């Protein structure tokens, strides 16, 4: 998806005012965010042209917590710039603890086998 400066100008008023000079522009941040969403890549796999992935991730995290990302995407949907629908939540094993019984190891001894 190509996100233009003209489209960005329509939602720029939704961005919080920075307290200090930002290392990446809000336009560059939104382009990077849309790239991650469109390609489904990890933050670390973000192309260098968008800036440092950690900076983009930290801004995304901060704006997600204060509701800015929600407002931006709502505005983008209302202006028909993007068309997305979120009805799935992805969880991986790093965020879910499994009881040892679920792993199938209850009652089994782990170690050397008797057969050699």
Q: What is the mean pLDDT of residues 85-96?
A: 55
What is the average per-residue pLDDT within 18-26?
A: 84
| Residue 105 confidence class, pLDDT cut points 50, 70, 90 | low
Burial of 71: CB neighbours in 10 Å, binned 0-12, 13-18, 19+: middle
33 has a pLDDT exceeding 80: yes
Average pLDDT score over residue span 44-66: 92
- Cα–Cα dist 85/100, whole Å: 36
Q: Of the candidates 13, 72, 60, which has an alpha carbon nearest to the alpha carbon of residue 32?
A: 60
With a cut of 90, say whether residue 97 has pLDDT above it.
no
Among 8, 6, 11, 14, which residue's Cα sits nearest to residue 66? 14
């Amino acid at each position: 998806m190509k996100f233009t400066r003209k489209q960005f100008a329509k939602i720029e008023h939704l961005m919080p005012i920075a307290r200090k000079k930002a290392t990446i522009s809000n336009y560059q941040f939104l382009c990077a965010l849309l790239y991650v969403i469109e390609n489904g890549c990890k933050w670390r796999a973000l192309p260098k042209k968008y800036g440092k992935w950690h900076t983009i991730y930290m801004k995304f995290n901060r704006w997600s917590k204060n509701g800015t990302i929600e407002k931006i995407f709502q505005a983008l949907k209302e202006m028909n710039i993007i068309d997305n629908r979120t009805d799935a939540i992805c969880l991986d094993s790093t965020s879910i603890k499994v009881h040892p019984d679920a792993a199938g190891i209850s009652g089994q001894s782990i170690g050397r086998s008797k057969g050699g």
